[in-house]
């Protein structure tokens, strides 16, 4: 294996066709696909480091153990949030090669595509917003291209009513491994039976685009090695010996550099910082930013691309006044229920589900006039009987990201209740919507109180029994504990410029000749019909990166 370089001096002596800013989930996909052509040279510049032998990354059972570790997690925090009882809210982001694909909770599932499912022959919502080619058929193709799907044992699949993977929906030869968890027990059946009793039927194949119901979630795990599959292990390591693929680590990019007085702006490389020294890496063709929903807009702003008023406030010369950079940021928001359960049980990896709650009122927080087209589309979803409005994720044990403390030796069942369609825009964190989250938490409590799931519950943990006794108590609990689901999107939106767009449908930054952004930040209402994807974002980001790499190749 060719190890990543820590010597920016060597990089500064050469010029590359493409410089990729960020070696995370998307960046390594883009680099691997571009370097399939031996005549193309690519340099990947990553702020973090690289260690392929970290147990907390590789062992699925240690998921969550690298959170807050400065070698693997940027561990961002918001400023104190008024509507969350002035808490500073944790926002993990992966650091190092592989990015957040080395840090996440392994979920691999598909977004819900309402237009593709219910209005045949119509464009998807993202196409309707001015992005031709960004539709269900295209993205499913790229999801399949990214993945190699492993099947369950047929006997286990039959016992727990899980469909064996259909090649119509699942990839068979991609770099990234995905598989179902293989440890099941009676609690799994108790949960799915409870869901069915309260009107949430089993959905044995949610990857076709219809997520309603309870279903089992794929994970980014290679069952042949029982290890996490992530962008560094799947896309970088198999290609590390390529002579045209160069990776520089421990070197944050401070800005993109441009040809003086060019219009549109022509990028000629990036400035990197290594051990306190600055170096310039030259790009002959393009600079491709893959730094994620928080840091991609930051890179653009540090380069002089963004809202002129904000840039001037921080002493940055404005090269391109593009006010939407950093706006339209969205994330799911959740509150968690935790109960002690029968100590004789060993919790299984439980199913997750999508359900819905009709909302008669439609409130918009912090929205900008140019976002109205998105919000009008969402208004229709609130009244669509096929639109999932909440997600419940049963978790096998005590959900530590709540910050609450567990008692050693006890058995726990946790369940997060998630708002799928946040309506706020423009801020890292949104005002808590206790009306929606309250309904979600109360429905979750109803699930725990319904047999056969109720038969294993022994005592409430969170919310406490006192908090569960009134809506007021639950609202305070929600404000004290609600968190994002760590699926930030939308901060460098792919939209027409007049509608708040930063990149065009080919992912080129408006006003530049050769700067692209390829990561979750480009998703304006996510893919392809839901505002904030009605799914966990990992699989979608791989598809965006695969499609983005093809767009670059087409423009070579």
Rounded to the nearest 5 percent, the helix, strand and coil shares of the chain are: 30, 20, 50
pLDDT at 20 over 50: yes
d(CA 108, CA 146): 12
Residue 452 covered by a domain: yes
| pLDDT greater than 70 at residue 481 | yes
Q: Are 390 and 442 in contact (CB under 8 A)?
A: no
Length of the chain: 556
Q: How many domains does the chain have?
A: 1
Query: pLDDT (tens digit, 9 = 90+) per residue, 221-246?
Result: 999 999 999 999 999 999 999 999 99
What average pLDDT does the segment 493-509 reach? 95
Answer yes or no: is 354 within a domain.
yes
Q: What's the CA angle centered on 196, arms 191 and 200, to 5 degrees?
A: 105
Range of the domain at 368: 333-484
Rounded to an integer, the average pLDDT of 323-341 is 90
d(Cα 546, Cα 549) in Å, to the nearest integer? Answer: 5
Q: Which residues pair with 258 in a beta bridge?
A: 267
C-alpha 536/C-alpha 543 separation (Å) is 13
- Buried b / exposed e along 105-131 (16+ C-beta atoms within 10 A): bbbbbbbbbbbbbeeeeebbbbbebbb
Q: How far is CA 214 from the centre of its chain?
A: 21
Rounded Cα distance between 515 and 503, Å, is 9
- C-alpha atoms less than 13 angstroms from C-alpha of 505 in its C-beta half-sphere: 11
Task: Using alpha carbons, select from 524, 533, 489 the residue that is nearest to residue 388.
Answer: 533
| Confidence (pLDDT) at 355 | 37
What is the residue-wise DSSP string for 468-492? HT-HHHHHHHHHHH-EE-S--B-TT
Q: What is the pLDDT of residue 361?
A: 31
- 463: cis peptide before it, omega within 30°? yes
d(CA 71, CA 141): 34
How far is 543 from 77, CA to CA, in rounded Å? Answer: 28
**Quick one: 443 exposed, middle or buried, by C-beta within 10 A (0-12, 13-18, 19+)?**
middle
Copy the structure tokens of residue 307: 């809202």
Least confident of 87-91, 347-351, 455-459: 347-351
For residue range 345-371, what is the model confidence (pLDDT) as tens digits?
A: 754 433 333 333 333 232 333 334 455
Rounded Cα–Cα distance for residues 240 and 2 (Å): 5
421: its two tokens: 């369609």
Which H, E and C letters describe 393-421, residue by residue? Answer: EEECCCCHHHCCCCCCCCCEEEEEEEECC
Nearest-angstrom CA–CA distance, 65 and 62: 6
DSSP string, 248-314: E-S--EEEEEE-TT-SSB-EEEEEEEETTEEEEEEEEEEEEE--HHHHHHHHHHHTTEE-HHHHHHT
Q: At what angle do helices 25-34 and 538-554 cross, to 10 degrees?
A: 30
pLDDT, position 357: 33
Domain annotation covers residue 213? no
**Per-residue pLDDT for 185 more than 80?**
no
Note the pLDDT tens digit of each residue in 23-75: 999 999 999 999 999 999 999 999 999 999 999 999 998 888 999 999 999 99
Nearest residue to 519 via CA among 504, 507, 531, 533: 507
| Domain CATH number, residue 367 | 3.30.560.10
pLDDT given for residue 536 in this prediction = 65
State the pLDDT at residue 378.
57
> What is the spatial distance between Cα 85 and Cα 284, in angstroms, rounded to a whole number?
50
pLDDT at 331 over 60: yes
Residue % of the chain over a pLDDT of 90:
54
In this predicted structure, the answer to whether residue 398 has a pLDDT above a threshold of 60 is: yes
- Cα dihedral 115, 426, 306, 540, rounded to 10, equals -40
Higher pLDDT: 125 or 455? It is 455
Question: Does residue 193 form part of some domain?
Answer: no
Specify the range with the lowest mean pLDDT, choosing from 179-183, 466-470, 493-497, 507-511: 179-183
> In this structure, is residue 366 part of a structural domain?
yes
Q: pTM of the full predicted structure? A: 0.88
Sign, CA dihedral 353-358-362-363, equals negative
- Classify residue 423: in a domain, yes or no: yes
Q: Is residue 22 part of a domain?
A: no
459 domain-assigned: yes
């Amino acid at each position: 294996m060719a190890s990543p370089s820590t010597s920016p001096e060597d990089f500064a002596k050469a010029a590359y066709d493409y410089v990729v800013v960020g070696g995370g989930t998307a960046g390594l996909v883009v680099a691997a696909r571009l370097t399939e052509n031996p005549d193309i040279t690519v340099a990947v510049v990553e702020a973090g480091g690289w260690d392929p032998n970290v147990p907390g990354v590789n062992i699925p059972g240690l998921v969550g153990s690298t959170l807050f570790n400065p070698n693997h997690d940027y561990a961002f925090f918001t400023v104190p949030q008024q509507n969350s009882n002035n808490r500073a809210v944790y926002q993990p982001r992966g650091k190092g090669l592989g990015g957040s694909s080395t840090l996440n909770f392994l979920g691999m599932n598909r977004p819900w595509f309402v237009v593709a499912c219910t209005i045949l022959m119509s464009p998807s919502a993202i196409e309707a917003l001015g992005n031709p080619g960004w539709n269900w058929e295209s993205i499913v193709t790229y999801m399949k291209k990214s993945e190699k799907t492993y099947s369950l044992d047929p006997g286990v699949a039959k016992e727990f009513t899980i469909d064996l993977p259909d090649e119509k929906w699942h990839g068979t030869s991609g770099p990234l491994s995905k598989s179902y968890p293989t440890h099941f027990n009676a609690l799994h059946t108790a949960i799915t039976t409870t869901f069915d009793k309260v009107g949430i039927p089993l959905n044995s194949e949610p990857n076709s685009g219809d997520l309603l119901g309870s279903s089992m979630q794929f994970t980014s795990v290679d069952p042949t090695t029982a290890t996490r599959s992530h962008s560094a292990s799947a896309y970088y390591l198999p290609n590390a010996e390529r002579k045209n693929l160069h990776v520089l680590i421990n070197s944050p990019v401070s800005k993109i550099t441009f040809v003086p007085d060019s219009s549109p702006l022509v990028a000629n490389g990036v400035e990197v910082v290594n051990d306190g020294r600055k170096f310039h890496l030259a790009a002959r063709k393009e600079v491709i930013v893959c730094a994620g929903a928080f840091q991609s807009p930051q890179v653009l702003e540090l380069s002089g691309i963004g809202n002129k008023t904000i840039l001037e406030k921080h002493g940055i010369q404005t090269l391109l006044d593009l006010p939407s950079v950093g706006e339209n940021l969205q994330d799911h928001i959740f509150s968690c229920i935790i109960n002690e359960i029968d100590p004789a049980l060993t919790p299984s990896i439980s199913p997750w589900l999508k359900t819905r709650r009709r909302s008669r009122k439609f409130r918009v927080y912090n929205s900008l006039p140019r976002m109205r087209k998105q919000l009008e589309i969402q208004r229709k979803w609130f009244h669509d009987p096929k639109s999932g409005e909440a997600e419940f994720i049963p978790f096998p044990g005590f959900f530590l990201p709540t910050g609450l403390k567990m008692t050693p030796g006890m058995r726990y069942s946790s369940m997060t209740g998630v708002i799928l369609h946040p309506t706020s825009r423009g801020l890292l964190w949104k005002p808590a919507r206790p009306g929606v989250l309250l309904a979600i938490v109360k429905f979750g409590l109803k699930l725990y109180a319904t047999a056969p799931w109720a038969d294993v519950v022994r005592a409430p943990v969170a919310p406490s029994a006192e908090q569960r006794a009134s809506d007021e108590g639950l609202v305070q609990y929600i404000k004290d504990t609600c968190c994002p689901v760590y699926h930030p999107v939308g901060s460098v939106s792919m939209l027409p410029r007049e509608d708040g767009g930063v990149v065009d449908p080919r992912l080129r930054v408006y006003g530049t000749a050769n700067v692209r952004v390829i990561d979750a930040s480009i998703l304006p209402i996510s893919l392809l019909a839901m505002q904030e994807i009605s799914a966990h974002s990992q699989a979608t980001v791989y598809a965006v990166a695969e499609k983005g790499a093809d767009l670059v190749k087409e423009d070579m």
